[in-house]
Amino acid sequence: MLAYHVYRSGSGRRDSSKEVEADESDAEPRRITVKEERPALPWMSTAASVVLLVTMLGILVTTLIIAAMASGNKHVTSGKHGSCLDGSPPAYHLSQGAMRSIDKWLVHLSGGGWCTLDQSEDTKFVTDHCALRATTPYGTSRLAPNLVDMEESSAYFNRDAKANPLFHDWNYVWIWYCDGSSYSSNLKDKVVYTKEDGQPVDLYFKGHGLLVDIFEDLLENQGMNGATDVVISGCSAGGLGVLLNVDWLGKLLPEKTFVTALPDSGFFLEWFAPAANTKYDSYAKTMKWIYESTNASSAVNQECVRDCKPET
Ligand SMILES: *[C@@H]1O[C@H](CO)[C@@H](O)[C@H](O)[C@H]1NC(C)=O
């Protein structure tokens, strides 16, 4: 038995099917001779295929290279000078640039608010409690993933030459923010803090040392000592970190290296949070706590410190 369906174009009807009884002779397989159509110039088609294949391979390889250049591998440093709040060693993600820009570096200090020890432990606002923060990705490098998408980490990390003509093929370094102090705290010893439930917890305020360890690693192990250009950028708490540390960085890097800062927000001078139920409801109060309680005064620009008139 054979069957066929008829669809009439434009009729919108799909039900005009018909079943047809077939006689026995129709059940025999029919031989159909198809004349093979050979292209007139076979070599041309081969050449076209090769070109197509090479082009596709090229696109694939380029896509893979761009994808590889857009992801950053985690590097954990010695932790000799600095650490995250929980004592874990400083970490960063690195994505190597193109050969032609091998001596150009864009470093980004990630942000994420600040913390103090002198407030209610359950406050989760721009300023939270350091004991709480130490258990989150903002307080430990243990929670840093092995691989990150650099382009998601910072808008300045973009491997598209059209969108990012200056930095698209530079080396990218994304620094894991985990000290709660805009990379400025500098307490030699740990603080043993007793939580509201009576449990003691060790906390470390070594945010500036975190940068010391990371740049030491970049200089000694990743080739930054050959840098012609280093741009240090950051957003929010990272932006403030740039302002607080760029003079130190300029002195640390080799003389031949051009160092410049690209802070992207972070100095929220008159920022208040009227809804926050905490005495650290303003930027100024939070910064004051960090500056006075974590020995940040010794890690920032000493000329600024000398020039600063005490409040009256
Ligand atoms: C503050 O930092 C300075 C400079 O690094 C250091 O000599 C001093 O011991 C630090 N003070 C405390 C209390 O950690």
Which CATH number does the domain housing residue 234 bear? 3.40.50
Look at residue 4 in the predicted model and tell me its pLDDT: 46
Per-residue model confidence as pLDDT tens digits over 82-96:
999 999 999 999 999
Provide the domain limits for residue 21: 2-34
Tell me if 134 is assigned to some domain: yes
DSSP H or E stretch at residue 307: helix 302-307
Q: Which atom of ligand 1 is nearest to the CA of 188?
A: 14
- Quickly state the pLDDT bin for 157 (edges 50, 70, 90): very high
List ligand 1's pocket residues with C-beta within 6 A: 186-188, 295, 298
Cα separation, 180 vs 201, in Å, equals: 16
pLDDT tops 70 at residue 8? no
Distance 24 CA to ligand 1 centre (A): 102
Q: What tokens does 63 get?
A: 């896509």
Tell me if 117 is assigned to some domain: yes
In this structure, the chain runs to a length of 312
Q: Name the domain count of the chain.
A: 2
Tell me if 25 is assigned to some domain: yes
Tell me if 94 is assigned to some domain: yes
Distance 244 CA to ligand 1 centre (A): 17
Tell me if 215 is assigned to some domain: yes
Which candidate, 184, 159, 152, places its Cα nearest to that of 297?
184
Same domain, 155 and 15: no
Q: Which atom of ligand 1 is nearest to the CA of 189?
A: 14
Cα separation, 55 vs 52, in Å, equals: 5
Distance 208 CA to ligand 1 centre (A): 12
Per-residue model confidence as pLDDT tens digits over 293-303:
999 998 898 99
- Strand locations in 240-302, DSSP E? 258-264
